[in-house]
Amino acid sequence: MQDLQKPEFDLSYITERIIAVSFHSTCPEQTYLRNLQNITQMLQSKHADNYLVVNISEPREELRRMSTRVLDVGWPELRAPSLHLLCSLCKSMENWLDTCSEHVLLLHCRGNKDRIGVVISSYIQLPSVSTSEEQALDRYTMKRFYSDKMASLMTPSQKRQAFSSELLAHQLKINSSPLLFHCVCLHHVPNLHPTVCRLFIRVYQGMQPVCTTGVSVGKTHKVYFALEPPQLLKGDIVCYYKNAAEGSREPVFRLQFHTGTLHGHPSLFYKKDLDHANKDPRFPENGMVEVVFSETMTNIPNNSAVVIDYDTLDPLVYWDSYENLTTGGTVAIDVTL
């Protein structure tokens, strides 16, 4: 593996045919454009027109000018892409590399490079990646790159989604039936406020809000947030709590998973499974999130001792976390204090 380290960007030949370049979020625009031009010249001199640029961050017109072969599949950093997008991307990579032995791929990312880890850890699930001695060596190299440089940067949801991509190897059975999403129960509320913990949840699908729960009033060890009416969801779910103190919102946890990978209801997620909370000392070690689904319109009892205020007009509750995002295929849930 050959690495070229620059202050403004990281460029790595993961294998001889898969290259990754990530530009730091602090990289100035002019520096980014200059380095991009240098990378283009390097690719042209080494690979002529045999490279495909796979952009896994926001669309960039500069990339289109750099090459006519640009695949824009970006999603927000520190989030997991939809499972459909991830599987389609892996198959597109496979098709490009299989078409010609001289073809190479450039994974381009501006900002957090956790997204490179998502792609690589998913791509190695393809059955064809280890069908020959040469491919087996590439697979080993990619796994080493992932474990040494990427795994520590990825969120629990990203790792869970990469694991879900095992369906590419026909190792994971997908439940195609849509599920009714009834409620989220937070066991052992984090220590966010000395007296009261006002939390709420928002559900998004395709980056559009589809449901907002009431705000919890009071403090207890367990809080149920009912989705009224229950949401019929099929695909990806992004679930995250937010804490609003002194007129601001602070994330308590985020949770993404694919409903098709659920087998059995309800589903429990522990601290280690929750984005943001997994590294927050205020979130208790025994804290967990219970997500309640059903396949029919069933009444789910509310065993919470906390009063839920459904009449709030607080604009913070309805502020859209994804108002500036256009990528689709996910569902999200917010909570605020």
Q: Which of 109, 183, 211, 239 is catalytic?
A: 109
Please, where are the H alpha helices in 48-82?
A: 61-66
For the purposes of burial, counting CB atoms within 10 Å of the CB of 59, is it exposed (0-12), middle (13-18) or buried (19 or more)?
Answer: middle
Cα torsion 295, 169, 161, 115 to 10°: value is -150
Query: Are 20 and 11 a contacting pair, CB within 8 Å?
Result: yes
- Give, to the nearest 10 degrees, the angle between helix 133-145 and helix 114-123: 150
Query: Are 54 and 107 a contacting pair, CB within 8 Å?
Result: yes
Which H or E run includes 307?
strand 307-309
Cα torsion 263, 293, 242, 237 to 10°: value is 60
CA distance linking residue 26 with residue 28, whole number of Å: 6
CA distance linking residue 191 with residue 281, whole number of Å: 9
CA distance linking residue 30 with residue 283, whole number of Å: 41
CA distance linking residue 248 with residue 251, whole number of Å: 10
User: Is 239 annotated as catalytic?
Assistant: no
Strand partners, 184: 225, 291
CA distance linking residue 102 with residue 323, whole number of Å: 41
Taken as a whole, the chain contains a residue count of 337
Query: Position of tokens 């380095």?
Result: 35
Catalytic residues: 109
